Amino acid sequence: MALIKSVRGFTPEYGESCYFADNATIVGDVIMGDECTVWFNTVLRGDVNSIRIGNKVNIQDGSILHTLYEKSQIHIGNNVSVGHNVTIHGATIKDNVLIGMGATILDHAVVESNTIIAANALVLSGTKCEPNSIYAGVPAKKVKDIDPEQTKEMIEKIANNYTMYASWYK
């Protein structure tokens, strides 16, 4: 069973049909919506500030979500896929976003809707990623525009797949 732990009077809350891997850790001021999945060796550490997650968000193996004490929070919209070994630290991720494996998104960055952050990209603190775009590199830069409908379809497919994968473990 996942470690779900209260800290400083905050107990994680989650919606219906969520799946948490046996060794996932969810701590403190974390609130997530319905159909979310938190995979193996993933840590959502809401001990120093809040983490808010929408519906049908998958946070894949080895990812870490954390914030700055009294200075940053995490806000994640709906239909977001957070790839393996991603670090999100005090950033805002809007709806229909795909974050590639190994990416890092730092405090006060904003990733707008229908955007892809490439694998191993480093989104620096305060960066504003435009909607309907692909960002890649270290530091991450916009590399191209993408069709919003095509992106939304691909991102929703991945989000739906992770809901299906979770059903295999229940």
Indicate yes or no: pTM above 0.85. yes
Instruction: Return d(Cα 123, Cα 119) in angstroms, integer.
Output: 11
The domain total for the chain is 1
Domain range holding 9?
Answer: 3-169
pLDDT band of 149, cuts 50, 70, 90: confident
Q: Taking the CA of residue 65 as centre, how many other CA atoms within 13 Å lie in the half-sphere pointing to its CB? A: 34
pLDDT tens digits for range 61-101: 999 999 999 999 999 999 999 999 999 999 999 999 999 99
At 113, which amino acid appears? S
Structural tokens at position 37: 């999945």
Q: How far is Cα 69 from Cα 64, in angstroms, rounded to an integer?
A: 16
pLDDT for residue 148 is more than 90: no
pLDDT band at 161 (very low <50, low <70, confident <90, very high): very high
CATH number at residue 15: 2.160.10.10
Say how far apart CA 28 and CA 114 lie, in whole Å: 29
- Average pLDDT of span 137-146: 97
Q: Is 88 helix (H, G, I), strand (E, B) or coil?
A: strand
